[in-house]
Structure 1
């Protein structure tokens, strides 16, 4: 289910307004309820005090009749206010439904309530005891007030408050919708501009200057992603072209040689020669395919497995022995510098593959009789293995791309990988380094080119970590 930012904002506006009005309404209702209760109690207290004053000065039955007449006058016909007088002397009793007074509840201050027959609400009461005087015994005066008008006032207020709150929430939601639509206009324009981007216009970027601060960071990140996408797209195009170029030569040789061989009858030795030539080209195609499959696995995040703790210098010497014939033929020597006791946990087959590519690269780009140097060193985070050879300087701009697939340095350097490789050797070195948690580096200074890779020290096992 799609979720709308505008809908979310409107919902949040409405929820915040509803909560605010609910809290305000609850506070107002509480204040009103307390004030109505206080007002009713004040009226009861005034009526009780006035009538009690009259009774306190009455000590005979003759004068008591005048008190009863006064209570009849003060009690309205609708029964909203009533008086009762309780006494042990029947002559001083007053009020209708005296038997119902037994159900009256009251607290220590004389405040209470009573539910009378025919009434939907309890009457709020106050009472006071009046001491005897002359012939009059002690009596209890009770005054009651009907709570129905106060309840109706509360109901009307609550209904009005609820209706006004709902209308206000609806108004806030509508205003919030308008505010959200206006506030999100920059985002809508940004979305329209993003949708207008096409693969052929990858160099186009979204404008940042006219956007709100909150969207500038998002736009900057999006433009950065576009830049990376453009670079990756360009690299992919170049990569596809390079792959096609690398495969076209051996495939062209295979097709051409086969067509020539089939153009006329051939003897068995001639066919064997053609097959041998085809086999060389097929081996080259297989090598390219295998290297590409390996790099694809590395791109998916594959890491080195089957790690074995071994001295790095031992693996370097084994790799150098593999190139012994080539080194002798070119009158080259290889020297190992650095701490030869350094150990690390390596997948030895991958390590030798990377080391072979570094040595082959150095041999191909060195003059006969050159001396190559393999240096081993450690820093705080990694163990480095570098191969240095004398040769023509490599420009800084090229050093940054030496490990890219099929990358070619200009012809002034005799073309990296143009001898026996196919432009994937250093890319494989980078992949092997990444699979061991390391990095690659290249430098060129004082007529010496140095290329190498590292393995993370954290991969050196518990002994190293200790």
Structure 2
């Protein structure tokens, strides 16, 4: 369950929405907090300067003790009961002083003509102060005037604003999560339909495809790729079914022969020469089974990406001629001839045993499907990066639909056609040719024109 939640695209999108919203709200909140803080501070200072100027004008024009008593009375009247605004006047002459806690505040640090902060015992928040030194006037010596304004409203407003911003941000993030989940779920609905459709596929329904036109542009490419994968899977499944049927058919015949001959031999007493004949016949069938199994194992290794490894630089025409010489007696018995033409100096890096095996299969195929006395031509053509070997023999035209499948395993154009010239095949020869060509970085090809059938392969190499 935890893994499902972790790997859910919807949950990932919702988390990204929430993280984005949290970052955005935090940035907006920080900017608004700074703006509000600055505006509150400016407003508080404006009020502080206004109050200070009023008091300064009144105090600066009083220079006698008689009038100073009226100043003190005026200041008492202007001082609110809650102490939100305070006034202090410091002087070397005690007659011209004013304010509470003067002894405690006499030595507090201040910058003349500037604002500052002053903490008073019993108050949670400091006082916002403005201090100036006023020159002597008449009997009054120079005095230091300080006006203080309580900052509690300032800090309380900031605290309230910050709490509101945090609460609104939390609600906003929660709403983004809820709407993000709904949006992501609705937006990914086509993807869920694709997933549901994919889960319904089975070997019996591989022909079904996703409807690309009904999907958003972002998913159409994925749907097309998925349909392409289904095409390849369907073809591979059909090939696998055909391959299994062909394997069963090819193995059934020699096994049936082995069982039948063995049952006949055991049905009554037989002499040693008769049992020897049966064993010899069984050995031929067993050898045929071994050949089929070895070829199937070879093709399986090729399908797994095995490449030719024991490569050597060879002259292709010389390797072709050695393979032709191997068929000398078969050709003589059939009255056939073989010629090697083309680029006789072409060279390539090949695994000699595999190259000869591929060419042997091509020659066997040409001899098997040619009439007695036919002439077989082997053409070598070299380019800058490849060497092509083509084997041509006279024969009946092959339809294009068959040409495309000649290299399929166990494929035969005419299943009723019998082997001739003593050469036995089981439908894997040309498939092996294609596999060997692929192992050398090349491919196989086939053509049928003008009464000539040409089958060949290419390998990496080229002109010397």
Q: Same fold by TM-score, threshold 0.5 exceeded? A: yes
Aligned to 1:242: 246
1:170 aligns with 2:174: yes
Q: What's the TM-score, normalizing by structure 2?
A: 0.92
Contact 2:390 2:454 in 1 (8 A): yes
Residue 428 of structure 1: CA displacement?
A: 0.7
Deviation per CA, 1:31-67: give whole Å up to 9, x if none. Answer: 1111111111111111111111122222222222222
Give the distance between the partners of 1:355 and 1:407, measured in 2 at CA.
Answer: 19
Local SS of the residue matching 1:140: strand
Q: What's the TM-score, normalizing by structure 1?
A: 0.92
Residue 403 of structure 1: CA displacement?
A: 1.0
Aligned to 2:400: 396
Aligned to 2:196: 192
1:46 pairs with one of 34, 47, 50: 50
1:254 aligns with 2:254: no
Contact 2:419 2:425 in 1 (8 A): no
1:421 aligns with 2:436: no
Aligned to 1:310: 314
Contact 1:100 1:116 in 2 (8 A): no
Give the distance between the partners of 2:362 and 2:430, measured in 1 at CA.
Answer: 7
Contact 2:48 2:130 in 1 (8 A): yes
Give the distance between the partners of 2:377 and 2:71, measured in 1 at CA.
Answer: 128
Local SS of the residue matching 1:62: helix
Contact 2:90 2:106 in 1 (8 A): no
Give the distance between the partners of 1:409 and 1:418, measured in 2 at CA.
Answer: 19
Local SS of the residue matching 1:341: coil
Residues 1:70 and 1:151: Cα distance change in structure 2 (over 3 Å): same
Aligned to 2:39: 35
Residues 1:394 and 1:107: Cα distance change in structure 2 (over 3 Å): farther
Deviation per CA, 1:171-191: give whole Å up to 9, x if none. Answer: 221222222333333333333
Deviation per CA, 1:389-437: give whole Å up to 9, x if none. Answer: 2222222222221111011214698899996211001111111112122
Kindly report which structure 2 residues correspond to 1:192-271, keeping only aligned pairs within 5 A, or say none. 192-271=196-275
2:165 pairs with one of 137, 161, 169: 161
Residue 107 of structure 1: CA displacement?
A: 5.0
Residue 108 of structure 1: CA displacement?
A: 7.0
Give the distance between the partners of 2:140 and 2:405, measured in 1 at CA.
Answer: 119
Residues 1:256 and 1:108: Cα distance change in structure 2 (over 3 Å): farther
Give the distance between the partners of 2:409 and 2:165, measured in 1 at CA.
Answer: 74
Local SS of the residue matching 1:369: coil
Give the distance between the partners of 2:397 and 2:422, measured in 1 at CA.
Answer: 17
Kindly report which structure 2 residues correspond to 1:85-164, keeping only aligned pairs within 5 A, or say none. 85-101=89-105, 104-106=108-110, 110-164=114-168
Contact 2:338 2:377 in 1 (8 A): yes
Contact 2:313 2:350 in 1 (8 A): yes
Deviation per CA, 1:301-350: give whole Å up to 9, x if none. Answer: 11111211222222212211111111222222222223222222211111
Residue 370 of structure 1: CA displacement?
A: 2.6
Give the distance between the partners of 2:162 and 2:152, measured in 1 at CA.
Answer: 15
Deviation per CA, 1:443-464: give whole Å up to 9, x if none. Answer: 222222222222234xx8xx98
Aligned to 1:449: 453
Aligned to 1:80: 84
Contact 2:120 2:126 in 1 (8 A): yes
Contact 1:105 1:113 in 2 (8 A): no
Give the distance between the partners of 1:91 and 1:338, measured in 2 at CA.
Answer: 129
Give the distance between the partners of 1:235 and 1:329, measured in 2 at CA.
Answer: 38
2:304 pairs with one of 300, 318, 326: 300
Residues 1:99 and 1:368: Cα distance change in structure 2 (over 3 Å): farther
Deviation per CA, 1:104-131: give whole Å up to 9, x if none. Answer: 4445751111111112222111112222
Aligned to 2:23: 19
Deviation per CA, 1:330-384: give whole Å up to 9, x if none. Answer: 2222222232222222111111111111111122122223332222223344322
Local SS of the residue matching 1:76: coil
Contact 2:336 2:372 in 1 (8 A): yes
Give the distance between the partners of 2:393 and 2:229, measured in 1 at CA.
Answer: 38
